[in-house]
Amino acid sequence: MPAQNLYTHQTENVAKTWALMAIFLGLVVLVGFAASWYFNSAAILYGAIAFALLTNIWSYWNSDKVAIALSRAEPADPQRYIELHRVVENLAITAGLPKPRVYIINDPSPNAFATGRDPKHAAVAATTGLLELMDRSELEGVIAHELSHVGNRDILVSTVAVVLVGVVALVSNFFLRMSFWGGGRDREERGNPVLAVIAILFLVLAPLIASLLQLAVSRKREFLADASGALLTRYPEGLASALRKLELHSVPMRAANSATAHLFISNPFGAREAGKGIANLFSTHPPLEARIKALVGGE
């Protein structure tokens, strides 16, 4: 794919990602508003917004530690994994980024992820299966993809999305339970019962809407990182070849976790099945075939 198209691809996805995040934040406000109207309490709206802000602040400082722990990643020994350290360091220099901390995951399933709140506090992790499967150019493509997540500052965006999904689900579930036990406005206060039904329906559907928005954000991030990674190595075929191997070796990871699935370059629950049929609607990643086509066209 020509460089100009990659830059266009990057610009478009940055705009779409931030647009989705704006919608996401609006959804949190709407959930709080619907609940505050139904229960006739403005404090609920303020409380929901405050809770979302506090959880976002906590996740900002601790998201990398949580992701590394859940993935069972360990610091990569500089001597044993010297090739991995060299690739990460060389590409970080090329990208103008500080060298991130390097971790290894003892898992035969090939995969990798990046995490951290900013380039100075970033970390890159790769599985032992990835190192065994990829040649040098393919490994560079994968690491360039992960460093692009760091350089594009979209790791924090995805973390915020994950937290907001949890906040929406918790708030919706809490208020639905309250309404079930008879809380909220009485019939005269509600005025139009249709509005009450709409408020309850919105609280029921809000977690599903939030999850779909999270998936959309994750998918845009992957296309953006693919494009940026190809620009970094100046060799799109390296990453494309790595993605082909990931598609053929679609084995679930031992420590696959839905909370961190969106961080990995390939779906840790199995890339091949995740992109098929209706399952694609609820996958954190776009089909690998579509990503390969975006990189090298219809080859």
Q: Catalytic site residues? A: 146
**Phi, psi dihedral angles at 256 (to 5 degrees):** -60, 130
Distance CA 83, CA 98 (A): 18
